[in-house]
Structure 1
């Protein structure tokens, strides 16, 4: 089964020390966001987003001393709500508890509790807190119990286990961490990995001027403007939170996840002086690529982003090309207005020469590229304007949006983007339908309404157009995407939501004589009921139906039942699920969130017919040690082989075993 593993989630951790309703609210928001994002782009990286929230849960934001930029990682607050929070603090003085947050304009009880999970309400921190040292060691092993074909034939160099370890140290004005990972099939202290793990990552962050300025050495990510020039890690796109379409400029942040490509390696700084904020960075890092030689000149034809190094060809592509990246962001704030300038230059060790295909005509090729952008944000009471315009190789790209909240129970949002087909950026990630920041014009409208007590409705419509062909199209085309979701709190213990999704966009059909576009239509209807039976047991029931139309029609169905147990003293937890699915083919696949180990969860894609069951549990061995275990199995009906090629499995079952130890020092 195709499985998307997304690391570093903290939903269970925060529930151990915070309110149960806030934990559920945050889990629901993340689940809804990720399921929809992954339907559009299965390679989306949410690890950095979750990693930021993990750190915030452990080191909350000092609400009574923090500046606006410190709140930017709180993705569930829209800019108008954040502005209302800061205005409330300025007008009423220090905020003393999360219960007071419910008095902020635009906050309800659940949002107040949710926000309070990440806030420190002290007016003056005790001196000893600055000297507190925290350390964490995480060890994890994962294994597929059935043997895949490449392990039988010896095509994979290493063993079936996937191994992961992470150490993090937080002290006075200093943080550092080391992450190491070996994927299944990669060698460990042998052959091509004589140094141990296949992937290592590390960083050190030093803070100055009472935390207002910092330097990051080693691995880090950059996030500027609205993503037209530089944005690494998770990028917020279309979701059920229709009033959260604006990006927050989070600048330079330490990197501690396991995506082996989308990060910088070098040094970056965050320097604040008066109303200005300067963030320079430089990186020199190797990446995986297919290399070749033409007339004695070395070049590369494509980048490899899987991060897998199991076979001879994958190992040959590992770290085969280097990239030198340098740039800076200069920000300025006066009152409600923020302006920013971003510049970045990228130079590759060898030229990039793409395949001679029409869809590649306007994509970047060559040895170097420069990107420049200007971004703005303006907040005035219940109105918020934002945007960025960028330039590269004579081409322009622009993203501009507005959010308006006339009353706390009603919010509107709109976003326009126009990205020239000649515009390219190596590490951009803007609000677009496609994963590349290239050749797209679009208009997005969203509305959020609370028409009655306990009822919330979110809806959006997005219209987009391509001026040139894509890899998946035979000609320019246009499409649209619609979503409507209604959430209803039956009471404090029971919640129901219903969601409808519709997408129409061009997809090529190839015949012997010609290629042409035919619209692909995907629809989905989902209903989910959540209930708390008592303080220890809760249940979740989901029904979902998917529809697909293109050169053929197909549909799918899924029903799942969850039971969760939380011990009163939080020393143990358990989650159990049984799901039945039946889809005509992969095109009608259905995604469903699963609970997983601490700092991890998964969203498998269900297709074919079968059953899936899992048990996931945690035991607190002592105050400093936790043990996590997950066992999962999927039974597929009417098949004798799963998968194909190197990952083929003889039989009709797929079973996983995961074990994790967490040490807090």
Structure 2
């Protein structure tokens, strides 16, 4: 008889939460909550949800964190900030940006930061989020002479190192433990240098080596990935110019969106894509960027952004015709070069890209016309599986579309429609409405044909691509009291063609209900329930037939953050989920403290779930790291992190983490042989030095 797994479920979650979390909370809950200014952890929830629904589309990009760190040093002036700069913050909805611009237009510059309370749509929780990054008090825009851009900025040099090995480890640098096929050591290192004069200009250099890759490339003292950019922004005709590595964001991401694109979360109104079209790129990811030249011309009420790029992409080559020796390729976006096969695929496919955006602005919004073309050195090939029938397969791709965004009274409309030369259309139309001072609503209709090809798209949806997806999303957000917020969404979607492990057209749904409570200035409590239903191929009992069947996931989540003293903050997250394969739960506590120039945190978690079904935690690593931890099976997790500021220019971080899990036997053979617990340790070190203005 096959051994049965002991299942925890909801009862086990509640018992563990009572013993490990709730009882300590009752014991140490203070009568007064002390204020503590901590760096905000942005987008953690939607990163976890993205990892659950579509981990392959997760992108390595810390540009948003770098931008916010720059505003910590040089706050954005709300009296002179443009709509694009306010969008870049990632903290404001389109309606709030428009209300701030209208307030400035009617009443003039903000007299002080406290005047934000008089702007419609700005409540105290939102203002507190903005405070570290903005300023107000004068109404002039900073005019920086061109020569000062390159002499009076700030330099930042950052080194990040990490290494992972099996077991606890007797030392920080144990003997190498890696598969023989790996070309290099398990060390991962990133060296980044950036110079910036606010938003006016700067340059940067990035060197990165992934775990398993060699330190030297082809015998030269160069790491695996090298990136460089030079950028300048000026008022006048030439608004922006970037040379080197850059990202391009177009419309609502149907055709092109290199940057981070938040998806569904309890922040139900954060679903519109916003940001500058061309931005310099200094991330460690090796796929979602262009290399070449990009610029923006400002022509009165119009803007023209154009870009040219030439890149060597990783791809596996295949002989298509022995007589003509024609070759075809398959792109590999991971960016790893560790094994012989990965090294063989390095830089095999040259890509030429050219594109342009013409945007006409009015007081109420804009209309943009977008076009982009790709040319590959070898034709790209699709797979042989039936669900891959409509995938892009050619050496040329042309995409063209139109996007728009307008505000009328208390309603904001936006959308995009794109046609690709591969033979498919993609469409999206959304809106947001302030139904009352305490109630907001949002909606998105989307539709993409199976033949649509958006190689770098990242639209709002389920799979992270516009092709082969149709759906309708509706959201509602209600402020019951100044410190109570209720939110929820319903997303009904379908896939008109086959998908991986789904042998027929399928449908699904996603529903979330969340409540957010601020009992004190820096104390938050958040609870949510989410139900997801999708289809997957399954063997029917009593029949030798595999057909799609629906499976659902119920997920309950509780988070809170509580300042216990001016120096200590307590964060908790507990989650339970019920799947067809069995129930699971995870509970995590994190203690953050600061004392003078020292800051630190201690995190520990317990988890129990079905093998192969992942549960995710984000925001436990270094600022800007963006790592999402995946837990499966049964086990525990511990992390210790320390930060030290030295002489206002140096910052040092050190982290050690240990995860021990037990894989439950799935077969009689595994049960007889015995399965030893799996353990893994990781150290991380980060040094940062800043000098200049």
More deviation in 32-41 or 504-513? 504-513
For 1:41-69, what per-residue CA distance to the aligned partner results, in whole angstroms no more than 9, with x for missing partners? Answer: 22322533333333333343332222222
Cα separation, 2, equivalents of 1:97 and 1:181? 43
Question: Which residue pairs with 2:661 in the alignment?
Answer: 636
Going from structure 1 to structure 2, the CA distance change for 1:193 and 1:514 (only over 3 Å counts) comes to farther
Question: Which residue pairs with 2:16 in the alignment?
Answer: none
SS of residue paired to 1:388: strand
Q: Displacement of 1:21 after TM fit?
A: 6.4
For 1:297-318, what per-residue CA distance to the aligned partner results, in whole angstroms no more than 9, with x for missing partners? Answer: 4433421122111111111011
Is the Cα contact below 8 Å between 1:98 and 1:113 reproduced in 2?
Answer: no
1:254 aligns to 2:294 (yes or no): no
- Runs (4 or more) in structure 1 with deviation over 6 Å come to 19-22, 126-129, 147-150
Once the two structures are superposed, the pairs formed by residues 145-160 of structure 1 within 5 Å of their partners are 145-146=165-166, 151-152=177-178, 154-160=180-186
Cα separation, 1, equivalents of 2:677 and 2:468? 44
Q: Select 2:58's aligned residue among 44, 56, 60.
A: 44
Paired residue total: 631
1:181 aligns to 2:208 (yes or no): yes
Q: Select 1:346's aligned residue among 366, 370, 374.
A: 374
Going from structure 1 to structure 2, the CA distance change for 1:427 and 1:610 (only over 3 Å counts) comes to same
For 1:52-98, what per-residue CA distance to the aligned partner results, in whole angstroms no more than 9, with x for missing partners? Answer: 33333334333222222221112221111111111111122111433
Cα separation, 2, equivalents of 1:284 and 1:364? 20
Cα separation, 2, equivalents of 1:80 and 1:534? 36
Going from structure 1 to structure 2, the CA distance change for 1:257 and 1:608 (only over 3 Å counts) comes to same
Question: Which residue pairs with 2:158 in the alignment?
Answer: 138
For 1:409-462, what per-residue CA distance to the aligned partner results, in whole angstroms no more than 9, with x for missing partners? Answer: 110001101111221122111112112220111100000011123110110000
More deviation in 167-176 or 239-248? 167-176
Question: Which residue pairs with 1:10 in the alignment?
Answer: none
SS of residue paired to 2:395: strand
Is the Cα contact below 8 Å between 2:238 and 2:295 reproduced in 1?
Answer: no
Is the Cα contact below 8 Å between 2:190 and 2:284 reproduced in 1?
Answer: no
SS of residue paired to 2:387: helix
Q: Select 1:591's aligned residue among 597, 616, 632.
A: 616
Question: Which residue pairs with 2:652 in the alignment?
Answer: 627
Once the two structures are superposed, the pairs formed by residues 246-645 of structure 1 within 5 Å of their partners are 246-295=272-321, 296-393=324-421, 394-509=423-538, 513-549=544-580, 553-567=581-595, 569=596, 571-587=597-613, 589-637=614-662
SS of residue paired to 2:378: strand
Cα separation, 1, equivalents of 2:221 and 2:341? 20
Q: Displacement of 1:358 after TM fit?
A: 1.2
Is the Cα contact below 8 Å between 1:291 and 1:298 reproduced in 2?
Answer: no
More deviation in 120-129 or 416-425? 120-129
Give TM-score, length-normalised by structure 2.
0.86
Is the Cα contact below 8 Å between 1:377 and 1:386 reproduced in 2?
Answer: yes
Give TM-score, length-normalised by structure 1.
0.90
Cα separation, 2, equivalents of 1:144 and 1:353? 36
1:217 aligns to 2:243 (yes or no): yes
SS of residue paired to 2:102: helix
Q: Displacement of 1:580 after TM fit?
A: 1.0
For 1:344-400, what per-residue CA distance to the aligned partner results, in whole angstroms no more than 9, with x for missing partners? Answer: 011111001212221111111111111001011111231100001111134321100
Cα separation, 2, equivalents of 1:160 and 1:245? 38
Question: Which residue pairs with 2:134 in the alignment?
Answer: 119
Cα separation, 1, equivalents of 2:576 and 2:457? 34
Q: Displacement of 1:605 after TM fit?
A: 1.4
SS of residue paired to 2:361: strand
Is the Cα contact below 8 Å between 1:221 and 1:252 reproduced in 2?
Answer: yes
Is the Cα contact below 8 Å between 2:176 and 2:186 reproduced in 1?
Answer: no
Going from structure 1 to structure 2, the CA distance change for 1:50 and 1:261 (only over 3 Å counts) comes to same
Cα separation, 1, equivalents of 2:102 and 2:36? 26
Is the Cα contact below 8 Å between 1:188 and 1:194 reproduced in 2?
Answer: no
Going from structure 1 to structure 2, the CA distance change for 1:62 and 1:580 (only over 3 Å counts) comes to same
Cα separation, 1, equivalents of 2:232 and 2:158? 23
Cα separation, 2, equivalents of 1:657 and 1:387? 45
More deviation in 61-70 or 555-564? 61-70
Is the Cα contact below 8 Å between 1:22 and 1:110 reproduced in 2?
Answer: no
Is the Cα contact below 8 Å between 1:299 and 1:352 reproduced in 2?
Answer: no
Is the Cα contact below 8 Å between 1:283 and 1:326 reproduced in 2?
Answer: yes
SS of residue paired to 2:377: strand
Q: Displacement of 1:23 after TM fit?
A: 4.3
Q: Displacement of 1:117 after TM fit?
A: 2.6
Q: CA RMSD in A?
A: 2.5
Is the Cα contact below 8 Å between 1:473 and 1:506 reproduced in 2?
Answer: yes
Is the Cα contact below 8 Å between 2:640 and 2:657 reproduced in 1?
Answer: yes
Question: Which residue pairs with 2:44 in the alignment?
Answer: 31
SS of residue paired to 2:328: strand
Cα separation, 1, equivalents of 2:511 and 2:456? 28
For 1:245-294, what per-residue CA distance to the aligned partner results, in whole angstroms no more than 9, with x for missing partners? Answer: 22225200101111111110110001111100100001110111111112
Is the Cα contact below 8 Å between 2:36 and 2:563 reproduced in 1?
Answer: no
Is the Cα contact below 8 Å between 1:560 and 1:579 reproduced in 2?
Answer: yes
Once the two structures are superposed, the pairs formed by residues 640-659 of structure 1 within 5 Å of their partners are 652-659=678-685
Is the Cα contact below 8 Å between 1:145 and 1:657 reproduced in 2?
Answer: no
Cα separation, 2, equivalents of 1:536 and 1:53? 23
More deviation in 151-160 or 207-216? 207-216
Cα separation, 2, equivalents of 1:561 and 1:651? 23
Is the Cα contact below 8 Å between 2:88 and 2:275 reproduced in 1?
Answer: no
Cα separation, 1, equivalents of 2:197 and 2:441? 43
Question: Which residue pairs with 1:78 in the alignment?
Answer: 93
- Structure 1: tracts of 5 or more residues without a match: 1-18, 641-648
- Structure 2: tracts of 5 or more residues without a match: 1-33, 168-173, 666-674
Cα separation, 1, equivalents of 2:295 and 2:317? 33
For 1:111-160, what per-residue CA distance to the aligned partner results, in whole angstroms no more than 9, with x for missing partners? Answer: 11322332242433486986632000001210113389994553211112
Is the Cα contact below 8 Å between 1:222 and 1:232 reproduced in 2?
Answer: yes
For 1:631-651, what per-residue CA distance to the aligned partner results, in whole angstroms no more than 9, with x for missing partners? Answer: 1001223679xxxxxxxx986
Is the Cα contact below 8 Å between 1:98 and 1:112 reproduced in 2?
Answer: no
